[in-house]
Structure 1
Amino acid sequence: MNEHLDTLEPQPLWRHFRILCETPRPSGREEALVSHLEAWADSQGLAYDRDSFGNLRICKPATTGHESAPGIILQGHLDMVAEANASHDHDFTRDPIDTYIADGWLRARGTTLGADNGLGVAAALAILEDTSLIHGPLEALFTLQEETSMGGALALDDNWLDGDILLNLDSEDREQVFIGCAGGADVVVEAGLPTQDVQVDESIVNVALTGLQGGHSGLDIHKGLGNANRLLVRVLRHLQTYDARLIDYRGGALRNAIPREAFATLAMPAGAIDAASAMVDELQSVFRTELQGVDDAVSVSLSPVETSHTEQALTPPASRYLINALHAAPCGVERMSTDVPGVVETSNNLGVVVLDNSRFYLCALVRSLRDSATQDMADRFAALFALIGAETRVENAYPGWTPDPESPLLARFVQLHRDTLGKQADAKVIHAGLECGILGGKYPHLSMLSFGPQIRGAHSPDERVELDSVPEFWRMLRTLIEDLATADPASRHE
């Protein structure tokens, strides 16, 4: 499988990426890949170790004569987002990623591709085995559970890394270099809600909202994409007209992916089903008009369920209060930055919503360039859902990365990019959670940059990488490492 990757350039990078595609690595299940990388390091004669959390470091001594060059840390995360289309049967703990090329882009069939951050990891491995490259001391830091919690970076051991410069290889825009990012936190809401039997004059129906693109909850949050949880809750609000009561609900799979699908089961008066179906059809037309040119394929359907066993549905007040609270919950862009024009300052993604056997669970991901705004958004959730008796807690909070536009490392990168590729590299701040903020907090002496090839649709089955951007990324990475090893020491601080 994936033999076509062997025909792509740069060949060493794609060879490693093929192995990543064929080694299952969803967040929390990276052990098989770590074991493979340790065996690979042994075969290369490279030293490696793991910290107390399990993050992996592989080290390579400097090229002879360049031992005094600044130490460079090549950093990426081993895990990938595990998202598949509902119609595509894929077990991310067992099945390889099946890739194909179309119109100059590499994609995966029915699933996320794992270019985020597989290409960065593959590039670091290719650098480590490159015997023609002149370099100072190298460390490749591979963190775990970035996509679910930033757990590896948050738990990274102190006083473990030795380098002076960190090159994060987890960015997704050609001809851009990132010097700052948003911080964030998971907001988790839970409650037990009262239920009662479905009545004899009630029927059970399923309501499904599908057909959305989904996307990255930071990089794509400003694009006006449909959020399946937000839209299905709008449908449920309208169905309250017919005294519909929630039995169960499931929407979204990951807090950092804009949800593509959501499903609810309802109890409602049998005589209201035809009118409710007509209303759902009308709402589908409304959504397609609102999302025209963005999510044109959005689909909403209502279908009766044949059942012979007793069901429990939320009581009318509990169902109404829950739907109203979800409808009022913040979702999408909250504020644009006044300090960094064109960049989202604060946002929230209603990522995962579940109602199962009267237990309600919500996990939202709040992002902001300001930690105070993250805290305020979490407090708004707590205040809102306290009205239905729910408990709210904040988990996996991580700081942002404060940009330094005067960084000498940035100036060198921009100059090298112009000299090497003949193009201007724009310095950007990203509304996403790079690990740089966390790592910089633990190792404040580090100079940091983040760059990578052109990736689109991350965190969704539409994820793809522009093939022409990968040789450029590889060339810049090699050029920067070699320049930092061979430049006059005084010029490194100009």
Structure 2
Amino acid sequence: MSEEIKNLEPKALWEHFYSLTQIPRPSKKEGKAVEFVKKFGEDLGLETIQDEVGNVIIRKPATKGMEDRKGVVMQGHLDMVPQANSDSSHNFETDPIEAFVDGDWVTAKGTTLGADNGMGVAAAMAVLSSNDLEHGPVEALFTVDEEAGMTGANALKPGILKGDILLNMDSEDEGELYVGCAGGEDANVTFSYKEDKLPIDYKAFKISVKGLKGGHSGLDIPLQRGNANKILFRLINKAQNEFGLRLADVQGGSLRNAIPREAFATIAVPENGEGKFKEFVAELEKTIKNELSDTDPGVTITLDAAEAPMFVIDETTQRNLTDAVMAVPNGVIRMSDAMPGLVETSTNLAVVKTSENNTIIAQCLMRSSVDSSKEELAERISATFRLAGAKVELAGAYPGWKPNMDSEILKVMQDTYNNTYGKIPEIKAIHAGLECGILGSAYPNWDMISFGPTIRYPHSPDEKVNIETVQKFWTWILETLKAIPKK
């Protein structure tokens, strides 16, 4: 099925992208992809370096007559977000992605596609393997673990790379140039609970919140989609007061940087209240559907009979957890004053789930283009969970990228796009954690820009990349490489 994508144009880029779909590369387990690109560079006879964390750097000399141009670093990340539909048996550590053409798009069967950032990686590989392109000195930088911690970018040492210009190919709207991005930080929360025996005359059910679109917790956060964790605990909060609901297990969300699409809980209610409880769930589903009718109309809340658990979470912890999840902020916190329409600060309640050793873990990812706002939001979220008796660890902080409107590469790429397509590309900042902020701190001399083809629904099983924009993205790369200024 997926081999059909190798026949798309530009063929060189799509062939390399197909190769990447065949290599399992979930975040933090992308070792096979590291070995793949390392061998790729070595087989081409190019200088190839792998650093201590797995970043790979491949150098290609300038073509004849272009030796006097500034050096360009083409950068993409090797890992991908491993999200699958609940009915998928896909194993991201062993199975290839089943990519296929769907009209004007390439998508995948029930999983994330990995166009984020396989498109950027494939473009760099296509330049490295070419024999007929014009370019100055080129370095390809393939980083690891971008999606789950920016590990590769954080560990990159100064002085290894020689280039002057960074082309980050990890943006998701063709015809746009990104000159700034948000920083981020994780809040990792832990509740400890005791086990209570399930009261007699209680009946168990499995609650399933499904059908939400989810998506990227930065790019898609202003779309006001439903958060499965918030919806589930809205139900639990009301039902514990009205029906004496007891919570045994919860599994909400899976990734810190994805809006949770699904959440599940094993609960129990008194048998004599079963009928009214079912009516309550059905009525709440109607309410949620009505609230999300424009942004997430596919949401469902279902109730299925379940085997009675031996134990439930102690009532005090259950209420503290529920209060905290209800109270903690989620979604857009503030819009940017400097760039209308851009989210400045946001947070995503990504994960709530029971874990080992009688613990419940929760994860939030805070984003902001203003570091002080990010810090204040982190303190607010921490305080909310601490008041509920949880332990909170803040980790993984990374800086934003401040726009430079006097950038030389910005002017070059505006001109090349205008000359090729007859219009000036839009200049934007992005509410997502591009690696540019981190990489720029190690290489402050770099002139940086970010761009890419059009990708929709990244970080979700609906992820897809527009075929026509991949060709335009590739042409823009080639024209830019030819127009790189002299040293």
TM-score of the pair, normalised by structure 1? 0.96
Alignment check: 8 A CA contact 2:215 2:457 kept: yes
> Does 1:260 pair with 2:261?
yes
> Does 1:14 pair with 2:14?
yes
| 1:423 to partner: Cα distance | 2.3
Alignment check: 8 A CA contact 2:367 2:432 kept: yes
**What does 1:333-412 correspond to in 2, within 5 Å?**
333-356=332-355, 358-412=358-412
**What does 1:38-437 correspond to in 2, within 5 Å?**
38-240=38-240, 241-307=242-308, 311-356=310-355, 358-437=358-437
Distance in structure 1 (CA, Å) of the matches to 2:196 and 2:454? 52
Alignment check: 8 A CA contact 1:345 1:370 kept: yes
- AA aligned to 1:84 is A
Which stretch of the first structure deviates more once superposed, 354-363 or 47-56? 354-363
| 1:488 to partner: Cα distance | 5.5
| 1:196 to partner: Cα distance | 1.3
Alignment check: 8 A CA contact 1:73 1:138 kept: yes
- AA aligned to 2:87 is S
- Cα 1:319–1:488 change in 2 (3 A) is closer
- AA aligned to 2:16 is H
Q: Deviations over 1:158-214 (max 9, x none)?
A: 221111000000000011000000000111011212331111122222111011111
Alignment check: 8 A CA contact 1:186 1:395 kept: yes
- AA aligned to 1:259 is P
Secondary structure, counterpart of 1:239 in structure 2: helix
- AA aligned to 2:481 is I
Alignment check: 8 A CA contact 2:323 2:388 kept: no
Q: Deviations over 1:447-483 (max 9, x none)?
A: 0000000000000011001111011000000110111
| Structure 1 unaligned residues grouped into runs of 5+ | 490-494
Across the aligned residues of Structure 1 and Structure 2, the Cα RMSD in angstroms comes to 1.2
Alignment check: 8 A CA contact 1:381 1:392 kept: no
Which stretch of the first structure deviates more once superposed, 365-374 or 295-304? 295-304
Distance in structure 2 (CA, Å) of the matches to 1:233 and 1:479? 52
- AA aligned to 2:160 is W
Distance in structure 2 (CA, Å) of the matches to 1:62 and 1:450? 22
Which stretch of the first structure deviates more once superposed, 140-149 or 416-425? 416-425
Q: Deviations over 1:370-391 (max 9, x none)?
A: 1111111111122111122211
- AA aligned to 1:21 is T
Alignment check: 8 A CA contact 2:191 2:391 kept: yes
Q: Deviations over 1:52-107 (max 9, x none)?
A: 21111011111233323111000000000100000111001111111121220111
Distance in structure 1 (CA, Å) of the matches to 2:275 and 2:62? 73
Secondary structure, counterpart of 1:433 in structure 2: coil
Secondary structure, counterpart of 1:258 in structure 2: coil
Secondary structure, counterpart of 1:188 in structure 2: strand
Q: Deviations over 1:328-382 (max 9, x none)?
A: 0111001101111110000001111112463110111100011111111111122
- AA aligned to 2:255 is L
Alignment check: 8 A CA contact 2:68 2:486 kept: no
Which stretch of the first structure deviates more once superposed, 392-401 or 402-411? 402-411
Question: How many residues are matched?
Answer: 485
Alignment check: 8 A CA contact 1:52 1:157 kept: no
Partner of residue 37, structure 2: 37
Alignment check: 8 A CA contact 1:175 1:423 kept: no
| Structure 2 unaligned residues grouped into runs of 5+ | none
Secondary structure, counterpart of 2:223 in structure 1: coil
Distance in structure 2 (CA, Å) of the matches to 1:30 and 1:196? 41
- AA aligned to 1:277 is K
Distance in structure 1 (CA, Å) of the matches to 2:463 and 2:408? 33
Distance in structure 2 (CA, Å) of the matches to 1:41 and 1:407? 30
Partner of residue 492, structure 1: none
Distance in structure 1 (CA, Å) of the matches to 2:274 and 2:124? 57
Alignment check: 8 A CA contact 2:385 2:392 kept: yes
Distance in structure 1 (CA, Å) of the matches to 2:467 and 2:402? 31
Alignment check: 8 A CA contact 2:176 2:426 kept: yes
TM-score of the pair, normalised by structure 2? 0.97
| 1:42 to partner: Cα distance | 2.0
